[in-house]
Structures are given as structure tokens and as C-alpha cells.
Amino acid sequence: MIDFVGKRIWFAGLSAILVIASIALLTVGPGLNEGIDFTGGTSTSLQFQDTSVRTDDVRTAFSAAGFGDATIQNTGGGSFFIRTRVQDIQAQDDILAALDRGYPGAYTRTEVTTVGKSVADDTVSNAIQAIVVAAIFIVLFLFWAFRAVSSAYRYGLAAVIALAHDVLLTLGLFVILGELINAEVNASFIVGTLTVIGYSVNDTIVVFDRIRENVRLGGGRTFRALVNQSLNESIMRSLGTSFTTGLVIVAMLLFGGETLRDFLLVLLAGVVIGTYSSIFVAAQVLVFWEERGFFGRRRPVEA
């Protein structure tokens, strides 16, 4: 039997380092690569017949139309994703005219999306509200589900601590991915984050339910021994479920195309981080709380 609880200081230290690094990346680091859903602007997808077209060639056309500060991403195979400030109809016509001069009939504009600043601000506000409301309902549900357990509120708050851990690490990872592969935080990212919250809590509840059953049976053992037994009994189920889910996500990443990439990256990160937190964060918080009290005051260890 693996002594997960005995190594909880190491797990807590690792999580603390990762959370601090994530906060640093978000605040003093490069920050998130926000898409137009959050900042407002116009995104354009272009497909050129000539696959040798370079990013500088596309930039020249946009500069001629007054958008020299455009963010241009070469997605391979003659495809480009361009993000600019909001374009009106005249600006779009100017861009098309500049492209026609350089590549007459040799390109296709596959998609154009424009989001105004007020809509972007509403998206940010709604995203924050959705995550806060989800966290509140999770706490209430866990209070109800574990109402027969002594100090049921601990389970709810431990799950929220693990949830905050998951969200921060996912955001920190996306700062890095934004620098490496231009991964964007957009509306799909929010949907993916809410999906991750549900998945993470589900995995945590599986572990907590096993702890509840073992605590009910008791057997004269300490709480840490019961938690350790519960983790050993549930870890293979958690890892098996996460592994199969991860395989499906990886397959979709390989064959699903560029449109789904950022959404699937959120899901994959959430599955990995959520599995880790349910075993090495949420359950360990219960042990810390049970043995020392939440603010460091030692509590008697229940049998």
C-alpha cells in the first residue's frame, strides 16, 4: 500500500510552487494571450493556393490597408490566422484590395469574425460569474451529499481549494502555451474551463465518497490511515478514467483541426491536473484540517 498521506508535505510543496509560478506568469509574466472574445477586434482566416506565402507577405497586405500592427499566425499549408483591431466594411474592402493586388484569385477568405469592445467586456464578466456560480453550487452540493459526515463543510471547502488549484494551474499553463504555440483564451476556453471544473469535482467526489465509506466503517484506525486506504482503493479507477479520457482528447487534437485546438488543450490540461488534485490536494487538505485544524491549531485525531 502506497503511503500517500505520509508524503503530503511533498505534494503540498509541489502544488504551492506550481500555483506561485502560475500567479507570477499571470501577473508579472507575459499574461494570457487573450482572443478577440476578450479584447474585441476582428479575426480573419485566409487560405492561399501558394503554400510558400510567408507571414511577411501577408503583413505587407494588411499594412497597406492600415493594419501594420496585425497579429499574424501561419498555421501551415498556406493558411493564416490574422487578428487586428475592429475592422469596418471599408477596412475589410481595403484589405481585400491589397490582397488582390498581390495574389489575384489565389486566396480564399474562409472566415471573418468581429467582436466589439462592449461585447468583449460582457464576455469577461459573464465568464467570471459562471466560474463563481459553479464553485458556489459545488460547495452546496457537497454539503448536501456529505451531510451525514461530521463537519461536512470540510469536504466542500476542500473541493473548492482543489478547484482553485486546478484553475490557476490551467491558466498558468495557457500563459506558456500562448507564448509557444499562440494558444488563445477565448469563449471556447471558458467552456473548456467549466467542463474541467465538472470533471475535476467528479473525480474528487469519487475519492471523498470512498473516504466517507471507510470513515463510516471505522475499524479503530486513525483518520489519516482511512484516507490513505481510500486513496489506494480509488487511485486505479481515477487513473484509468483519466487515461481513457485523455486518449480521446489527444486523438481529437491530432485529427480535429485548428478550430478545436485550444478547447481540447484546456480539457487535456484539466484532466491531468484534476486527477492530480483529487488525490494529492483535496484528500490531503482533509488530513491537514483533521489533524491540525485549518489554521494550524492541532486537533485530536479521530479514530
DSSP 99-136: HHHHSTTSEEEEEEEEE-HHHHHHHHHHHHHHHHHHHH
Place of cell 489527444: 250
CB 140 within 8 A of CB 152: no
Residue of 193, 184, 31, 27 lying closest to 115 (CA atoms): 184
One-letter amino acid for residue 205 of the chain: I
Instruction: Note every long-range contact of 57-64, with CB atoms under 8 Å and residues 24 or more positions apart, other chains counting.
Output: 57/102, 58/82, 60/98, 60/102, 61/95, 61/98, 61/99, 61/101, 61/102, 62/95, 62/98, 64/94, 64/98
One-letter amino acid for residue 242 of the chain: S
Helix or strand run (H / E) with residue 24: helix 8-27
Residue of 161, 131, 138 lying closest to 281 (CA atoms): 161
- The pTM score is 0.76
How many CA atoms lie within 13 Å of 187's alpha carbon, on the beta-carbon side? Answer: 12
For 102-135, write each residue's pLDDT tens digit: 887 788 888 888 776 666 667 777 777 877 887 7
Q: Pairing state of beta strands 79-84 and 107-115? A: unpaired
> Taking the mean position of all CA atoms in its chain, how far away is CA 160?
15
Domains contained in the chain, CATH given: 5-35+119-292 (1.20.1640.10), 42-115 (3.30.70.3400)
pLDDT, residue 257, reads 67
pLDDT, residue 296, reads 43
Instruction: Print pLDDT tens along the chain (303 aa).
Output: 788 888 888 988 999 999 999 999 999 888 888 877 677 788 888 888 888 888 888 888 888 888 877 878 887 888 888 888 777 788 888 888 888 888 877 888 888 887 766 666 677 777 778 778 877 887 788 778 777 777 777 888 888 889 889 989 999 999 999 888 878 887 778 888 888 888 888 888 888 888 888 888 876 788 888 899 999 998 888 889 889 999 999 998 888 766 678 889 999 998 999 899 988 999 988 888 877 754 444 444 443
For 251-300, write each residue's pLDDT tens digit: 988 887 666 788 899 999 989 998 999 889 999 888 888 777 544 444 44
Residue of 63, 109, 101 lying closest to 84 (CA atoms): 63
